[in-house]
Amino acid sequence: MSALLEVRDLQVHFPIGARLLRPPAGVVRAVDGVSLSIAEGEVLAVVGESGCGKTTLARAVLGLTKPTGGVIRFRGGDVALQSTAERNAYYRQVQMVFQDPFDSLNPRKTVLQTLAQPLRIHSIVPAGEFRAEATRLLELVGLSPAALYLDRYPHQFSGGQRQRICIARALAVRPSLIVADEPVSALDISIRAQILTLLRRLQQELGLSYLFITHDLGVVRSLCDRVVVMYLGRVVEEGRTEDIFAGPRHPYTNALLAACPLPDPVRARARKRATLTGDVPSPVNPPSGCRFHPRCPVAREICGRDEPAAREFGPGHRSACHFAAEADTWERPAWQLAVTAE
Amino acid sequence: MSAATDLPAAPTRWRIFARGKGAIAGAAILVVLLLLALAGSVVAPFDPDKVGAGATMAMPGGTHWMGTDELGRDVFSRILIGIKVSLLVGLGAAAVSTGLGVVVGGVAGFSGGLIDDALMRITEVFQVIPRFFLAVLLVAFFGASIVNIIAAIAILSWPEVARIVRAEFLSLRSRQFVDAARVAGASVGTLIFVEILPNALGPVVVNATLQVGQAMLLEAGLSYLGLGDPSQISLGLMLHQAQQIMRAAWWTTAFPGAMIFLAVLSLNLVGDGLNDVLNPRSRGR
């Protein structure tokens, strides 16, 4: 499997409280040694609670946040974003769709101006063809007739329409990888499905890869090939989507799956909830040993002492838990068994 | 996906501006004042410096619309020149202070961190000094020429602009559309001038408009105290010269004072109107 994007031991630490003539008061370990890879045409989900570092990971992959350690490789080459030429070469290939469509379009630019920016910077088409190319992009994302959109400002559109415009902008440079940071979480539930359908269609038609950041496991199941589960800046489990859903090997993944809402009320009532208690601990001062142990339902003494290494349980299915081998004995939400049976 | 056919047409900038009656009134007054300032020396019925153009302290009437002062100079002719000089000082000072403030505030807000800290401490030093007294000091020290007065007023006014611009940049630089432009490959210059600055411009332009008025008031204050440029007839200088005869000839102070009032009022009204235009949220309404 040749990796399109490879991230190895990525670290993003933020010093906090540093001011003029005052040293930092601490360090936020937002991303603390994350490795993952995405194959050509693959959709990889990164899942986790708020504050687990998944957005920071996405931003670091795009060079919007400077990593403090680790390596990012794209098509085998180290990603260096020092010079304008290096940045442009990278952004030709890797694009981003942001979380909030109400914040990610410049309110003072028309749709045409927004779409023309990447076309101009990367000389995708000659200047005379910006309008035609923008029209093609808008129609590609389901906004037609495009003439109705091109000369309007973002505030005249709904969230779903804006997110389609953002997707069109990301597609303008004809990238091979799109990093999508919770692209549907700011949208109405009815619009979500439309945008997800659009993303799936584009992925298939254009052969795109996605790094899909989300906290919504329902989205993962419908769209993603593989899943990486993050907790407090670390990867706790990763594997193919069906393996993760059928048999999670980490108690955190198990709890996340249990917290996922069920569309069927009969099954929803029947299931037992392995609810997590407490909040995500501070990434300034992460717990010793396994970072999940203070909230873990199966934690024992060793968990507070030794940090578990990731072990493999089947092809590409890795879990960083001391007791991953006992996963079959954990309390499983009833619906999961139903999923397995399906 | 519902088609966008039912979207309202975007109202033009002019129509938004024209919605405010005050803005229209302000713009009208301002245009008249600007025309008077530009055409002043042509339409002036008398030479503004001519002593004895009429009787001394003549009441406003047919020949001298706004009367004459204690030397028999025509007040109306002098006001025409005064408007020009006062507007020049106001516009000049506002332009310099806005330019300085945008650069300092923009760099501080965009860079953040230590650069921001350092620049803001410098800004605060200028901000804590009482403005008027520093202006008096600067003008008394460097001499009362128009250029010095503009410089003194600008030096006193830029911290306000810098703080506004910095605050705007601080909040705008972390907006997702700025990151989106970064990912689109935009250079730092493009980020600052194409992505961020146009979005920060609303409050800056409004503030600049208000600063023109404030600078005119400050200049009038300086001139009233006798610190104006004695070779340039400004509205403030006219007030200064009329101090002694204020009770005997009310028109020597009332008309220049009214002009300052009208100018500052119209600038404030226009500033409010511009605020409506430049705030994108008000466009869709």
Q: Which residues of A are less than 8 Å from B205 in CB distance? A: none
Instruction: Give percent above pLDDT 70 in chain B.
Output: 94
Residue A336 reports pLDDT greater than 80:
no
Provide the whole-model pTM.
0.80
Chain B positions touching A92 (Cβ under 8 A) are: 185
Higher pLDDT, B192 or A278: B192
Domain final position from A189, A224, A259: A224
| Residue A285, both tokens | 């001062």
Of A92, A121, A142, the CB nearest to B1: A142
B267 lies in some domain: yes
B100–chain A nearest CA distance, Å: 23
Cβ contact, residue pair B3, A145, below 8 Å: yes
SS3 content of chain A, % helix, strand, coil (to 5): 40, 20, 40
pLDDT at B280 exceeding the cut of 60: no
ipTM at complex level: 0.86
Choose among B1, B117, B199: nearest Cβ to A19: B117
> A317: phi > 0 → left, psi -120 to 50 → alpha, else beta; which?
beta
pLDDT band for B9, please (50, 70, 90 cuts).
Answer: low
pLDDT confidence of A190, banded at 50, 70, 90?
Answer: confident
Amino acid identity, position B180:
A
Structural domain including A182 reads: 3-224
Overall domain count for chain A? 2
Q: Average per-residue pLDDT in chain A?
A: 87
Confidence at residue A177, expressed as pLDDT on a 0 to 100 scale: 96
Interface of A with B (CB under 8 A): 18-20, 59, 62, 64, 84, 87-88, 91-92, 95-96, 98-100, 103-108, 117-118, 121-122, 142-143, 145, 148-149, 152-153, 155-157, 160-161, 166, 169, 172-173, 194
Judged against a pLDDT cut of 90, whether residue A341 lies above it is answered with: no
Q: What's the mean pLDDT in A250-256?
A: 90
- Structure tokens belonging to residue A28: 């936020």
| Residue A287 identity | P
- A&B contacts, CB < 8 Å: 93
pLDDT for A338 beyond 50: no
Of A172, A190, A224, which one is at a domain's C-terminal end?
Answer: A224
Determine the residue of chain A that is closest to B190 in CA distance: A117
**Domain assignment of residue B13, yes or no:** no
Who has greater pLDDT, B56 or A166? A166
| Residue A268: per-residue pLDDT | 62
Written as one string, the DSSP assignment of B120-181 is HHHHHHHHHS-HHHHHHHHHHHH---HHHHHHHHHHHHHHHHHHHHHHHHHHHHTSHHHHHH
pLDDT confidence bin for A267, thresholds 50/70/90? low
Q: What is the pLDDT of residue A257?
A: 85
Cβ-defined contact of A99 to B176 (cutoff 8 Å): yes
The region of weakest confidence among A224-238, A243-257, A277-291, B29-43 is A277-291
Q: Contact A62/B199, CB-based, under 8 Å?
A: no
Nearest residue of B to residue A87 by CA position?
B185
In a domain, B174, yes or no: yes
Q: Measured in whole angstroms, how far is the alpha carbon of residue A139 from the centre of its chain?
A: 26
Q: A203 and A154: one domain?
A: yes
Is pLDDT at A18 greater than 90 in this prediction? no
A174: pLDDT strictly greater than 60:
yes
Residue A164 lies in a domain: yes
State how many domains chain B has: 1
User: A-chain residues within 8 Å CB-CB of B182?
Assistant: 64
Q: Nearest CA of chain A to the CA of B184: how many Å?
A: 5
Chain A residue numbers with beta carbons less than 8 Å from the beta carbon of B193 are none
Per-residue pLDDT, B69? 86
Over residues A45-69, the mean pLDDT reads: 91
Within-domain flag for A46: yes
Higher pLDDT, A333 or A189: A189
Alpha carbon A125 to its chain centroid, in Å, reads 30
Provide the residue count of chain A: 342
CATH number for the domain that contains residue A220 = 3.40.50.300
Q: Would the CB atoms of B185 and A64 count as touching at under 8 Å?
A: no
Degrees, nearest 5: CA angle B205-B206-B207: 90
> Sorting pLDDT into bands at 50, 70 and 90, what band is A134?
very high
Retrieve residue B279's tokens: 């705030």
User: Averaged over B162-190, what is the pLDDT?
Assistant: 92
Residue B11 lies inside a defined structural domain of this protein: no
In chain A, % of residues over pLDDT 90: 56
Contact (Cβ atoms closer than 8 angstroms) between residue A135 and residue A105: no
Model pLDDT, residue B261: 94
Whether B189 contacts chain A with CB within 8 A? no
Please check whether residue A229 lies inside any domain of the structure. Answer: no
Confidence check: pLDDT of B7 > 60 = no
The beta-carbon neighbor of B7 closest among A107, A118, A156 is: A156
Task: Lowest mean pLDDT of A222-231, A257-266, B122-131, B234-243, name the range.
Answer: A257-266
One domain for residues A217 and A263: no
Sign of CA dihedral A293, A30, A9, A330: positive
My answer on whether A106 and A15 are in the same domain is yes
Rounded to the nearest angstrom, the minimum Cα separation between A158 and chain B is 10
Is the pLDDT at B5 greater than 70, yes or no?
A: no
Q: Tell me: do A63 and A211 sit in the same domain.
A: yes
Q: What local confidence, expressed as pLDDT, does residue B193 receive?
A: 86
- Whether residue A194 and residue B1 make contact (CB cut-off 8 A), yes or no, is yes
Q: A90 and A208 in one domain?
A: yes
pLDDT band at A274 (very low <50, low <70, confident <90, very high): low
- Shortest Cα–Cα distance, B107 to chain A (Å): 16
Residue A272 — pLDDT band, cuts 50, 70, 90? low
Position A55 confidence tier, pLDDT thresholds 50, 70, 90 = very high
A192/A279 same-domain check: no
Most confident of A48-52, A144-148, A235-239: A235-239
Question: What strand order describes the sheet that includes A43-47?
Answer: A94-97, A177-181, A209-214, A43-47, A226-231, A234-240, A318-319, A311-312
Q: pLDDT at position B258, please?
A: 93
Chain-centroid distance of CA B85 in Å reads 13
Q: What was the pLDDT predicted at B248?
A: 86
| A contacts of B191 (beta carbons < 8 Å) | none
SS3 A50: coil
Q: How far apart are the first and last CA of chain B?
A: 24
Residue A167: its pLDDT value, please?
96
Q: How far apart are CA B48 and CA A155, in angstroms?
A: 54
Domain assignment present for residue A136? The answer is: yes
Question: Does any domain span residue A238?
Answer: no
B272 falls within a domain:
yes
Task: Verify whether the Cβ–Cβ distance B184 to A99 is below 8 Å.
Answer: no
First and final C-alpha spacing in chain A: 29
- Over chain B, what is the mean pLDDT? 86
Q: In this prediction, what percent of chain B has a pLDDT beyond 90?
A: 40
pLDDT of A301 > 60? The answer is yes
Q: Which residue of B has its CA nearest to A166?
A: B180
The pairing of strands A26-39 and A209-214 is: unpaired
Instruction: Of A131-140, A312-321, B184-193, give the range with the top mean pLDDT.
Output: A131-140
- Cβ distance B180 to A166 less than 8 Å, yes or no, reads yes
The DSSP 8-state label assigned to residue A22 in this structure reads B
Domain C-terminal end among A208, A224, A240: A224
- Give contacts of A60 with chain B, Cβ < 8 Å: none
CATH number, position B207: 1.10.3720.10
State whether A169 and A31 are in the same domain: yes
- The domain of B191 spans 19-45+64-282
User: What is the rounded average pLDDT of the residues B129-141?
Assistant: 86
Q: Which carries the bigger pLDDT value, residue A169 or residue A284?
A: A169
Optimal mutation site among B5, B121, B177, B194, interface A, most CBs of chain A within 10 A: B177
As a dihedral over the C-alpha atoms of residue B14, residue B20, residue B26, residue B28, rounded to 10 degrees, the angle is 50
